[in-house]
Amino acid sequence: MATTEKLVEIKNLKQYFNIGKANEVRAVNDISFDIYRGETLGLVGESGCGKSTTGRTIIRLYDATDGEVIFDGVNVHGKKSKAELKEFNRKMQMIFQDPQASLNPRMKVSDIIAEGIDIHGLAKSKEERKRRVVELLETVGLNKEHANRYPHEFSGGQRQRIGIARALAVEPEFIIADEPISALDVSIQAQVVNLMKKLQKEKGLTYLFIAHDLSMVKYISDRIGVMYFGKLVELAPADELYQNPIHPYTQSLLSAIPLPDPNYERNRKRKTYNPSVHQYTEGDDVQFREIKPGHFVQCSLKEWEQYKAQYAK
């Protein structure tokens, strides 16, 4: 269950990449948000918006260009000893988008899952190591016979379950799930998401759930942030965001969600986002502002006053 205790604090995070001598890509451009212990924060947006880069920077797969990531009171990107990095890597884990590419094809499933257990010395004997692997396999809906097989012998959904078991092996507090269901069949997606919700309830996990499937994000998330070209443009509780989207880009995303209703689909009108509407100047004072309690939007002072008059009722 989500609490009011901040587990992760993102402060003015920037991640820039230099391509050639003159080109700079601002993949993550000065974003700030918090993730509370026990919650699932969904992060959505079109491909290339910077959401996956945000997750990888939080977990320190990339060194941040600027800004801070505070995890459990400690700056992730500050100078750390090997012991501190090792402890951080145990507490924060990642589930990757492509379950096949993220699993070593030459390793048996038992060794893939136990890799973190071995690194962190979490098993005192071979027997305990084997027992923990079997427990983890059963936790994610597999069985002990799967331990001696190789990744290519499994379906996509089963491989993603192995990836989840690997992440759980070191008993983390926080898991970044980077589009964990996008490579799976629709029928398997719900199984994986339901498994993640079940594990969160049982183990008190906190998730950053990165995806572009808006309907699935709503199902699993407590709050949702919307990214556009490296910027966080809106953040609100899941139900509030879907019922009262404020930023025009969020409105355009939600208008594209299909529903299994022929009458609705026949009359559905998609909203197209025109970025030229938001060509700000320095004097516009663009900030991430709270329109109503818990509902934030990237806007100018003039837009903020308009939004509050229109939506804060």
pLDDT in tens, 234-277: 999 999 999 999 999 999 998 888 777 788 778 778 888 888 77
Query: Nearest Cα to 295, choosing from 230, 225, 231, 228?
Result: 225
- The answer to whether residues 268 and 261 touch, using CB atoms and an 8 Å cutoff, is no
Whether residue 297 lies inside any domain: the answer is: no
**Is pLDDT at 55 greater than 70 in this prediction?**
yes
Query: With 70 as the cut, is the pLDDT of residue 88 above it?
Result: yes
- pTM of the shown model: 0.92
- For residue 201, pLDDT beyond 70: yes
Q: Is the pLDDT of residue 113 over 80?
A: yes
Output phi, psi for 31, to 5 deg: -115, 150
Q: 313 falls in which pLDDT band (50, 70, 90)? A: low
If you average pLDDT over residues 192-199, what whole number do you get?
A: 92
Over range 154-162, report the average pLDDT.
92
- Domain of 38, in residue numbers: 6-105+172-244
Q: How far apart are CA 310 and CA 291, in angstroms?
A: 10
Residue 44, in any domain of the structure: yes
CB atoms within 10 A of CB 143: 9
pLDDT of residue 10: 96
16 in any annotated domain: yes
| Span of 2-6, 114-118, 139-143, 158-162 with lowest mean pLDDT | 2-6
- What CA–CA distance (Å, rounded) separates 257 from 285? 32
What's the CA gap between 105 and 102, in Å, rounded? 9
**307 part of a folded domain:** no
Residue that wins the pLDDT comparison between 8 and 267? 8
Tally of domains within the chain: 1
- What pLDDT score does 271 carry? 85
For the chain, helix (H) and strand (E) counts, in that order, are 11, 12
**Strand ranges inside the chain, DSSP E:** 6-19, 23-36, 40-44, 66-71, 74-75, 92-95, 174-178, 206-210, 223-228, 231-237, 287-292, 295-299
Q: At what angle do helices 109-119 and 126-139 cross, to 10 degrees?
A: 120
**Residue 239 covered by a domain:** yes
pLDDT of residue 136: 95
- Residue 162: the pLDDT is 94
User: If you average pLDDT over residues 211-217, what whole number do you get?
Assistant: 84
Domain presence at residue 66 = yes
* Mean pLDDT, residues 160-183: 93
Reply yes or no on whether the pLDDT at 229 is more than 70.
yes
Looking up residue 66, the CATH number of its domain turns out to be 3.40.50.300
| pLDDT exceeds 80 at position 282 | no
